[in-house]
Every structure is written in structure tokens, then in C-alpha cells.
Amino acid sequence: MSELEKMLAGSVYNCQCKELEMLRGQTSQLLNQFNYEENAELRHQLLVQAGIKIPADSCIVPPLEMSYSFNLSVGSSSYINSGAIILDNGVVSIGSNVMIGPRVQIYTASHALDAERRIAGDEVAKPVQIQDKVWIGGGAIILPGVTVGEGAIVGAGSIVTKNVEAYDRVAGNPARSIMK
């Protein structure tokens, strides 16, 4: 099994292998074109060319940084503001009618806690799911393996370390419910 196949299966893989480095380089080149393209239709075409599943009525505002791009899907009428960082080593699923503020970071990659294994490149990818009608405030960070439930709101600057219930409002570091 290749390191890419291991990554896609959610198994431990070596993030330093040549195949994954090459794929990250290809993504970087396409996203560089996207980040400097002025025409919105051409930007959308570049996202699709990069492997992102995104309908025409959704928008990602440049600049955008990603690991691989083929593990991201976006539902209809969703908006991702400028400066997003999406480490899509694992699947990142963003629902419909989602609003994501500027400089939001979504991580699926999780490195080994053991220093020697981490230095050797051991990593595992855990999926992130942002369900329909979610609003994520600017600068928030969503960690690997998290699901943000339908209609939830994540406060600006929050660090989301665990699942968020549907229609809850969370904020802080670590993010916790602020509903009473």
C-alpha cells in the first residue's frame, strides 16, 4: 500500500514520501494561479481543476492554502473568506449555506506524539466535517477529527478540539458551549 493510499484510508503514513511531496507541489502551483487570478469564473475553474468539489454558487476568496485539494468538498451557497488554510490530508466536508470567516484554519493532519516517529514523518489524517448552515468566525481553528453540527456557530478565534453539537454556539480555547 502506498503512502497516499494509507493517508486516504486513515492509517499512519509517512508525510515525507516523494509521492506526497509531488502532490503538494502540484496543489501549490494551482493554488498560486488561483490566488492571483482576478476573474472569478477562472478562479472557480482552477479550484475544480485542483480536484475541489465545489458548485458554481459557492465561493472561496483568495488567498487559499491547502495540502492536496482533492479531499475538499463544499456544498451549495457556501462562502469561505480570504486566508483560509485547509490541510486536507483527510477528507474535509463543508455543507451547504456555510459561512467561514477570514483566516480560518481547518486541520486534518495529526503528527505522532513520539518525537522519533514524528521526525521520521509519521502522520495520520482524521476527517473534518462542517455540516449545513454553520458559521465559523474569523481566525478559528478546527482540529483533526472534529464535526461541527448543523447550524452551529464557532466564535472568532476559537480553537475547536472536539465535536460541536447542532445549533450550539461555542467560543474560546478550547472552544466550549456558551449557550445558557
The three state secondary structure string of 20-66 is HHHHHHHHHHHHHHHHHCCCHHHHHHHHHHCCCECCCCCEECCCEEE
Q: Which of 6, 24, 103, 111 is catalytic?
A: 111
Q: With CA atoms as reference, report the closest residue to 50 among 22, 66, 70.
A: 70
> How do strand 109-111 and strand 92-94 relate by DSSP bridges?
unpaired
Task: Tell me, yes or no, if 44 is annotated catalytic.
Answer: no
- Collapse the DSSP code of 16 into the 3-class scheme (helix H, G, I; strand E, B; otherwise coil) and give the result: coil
Known catalytic residues are 111
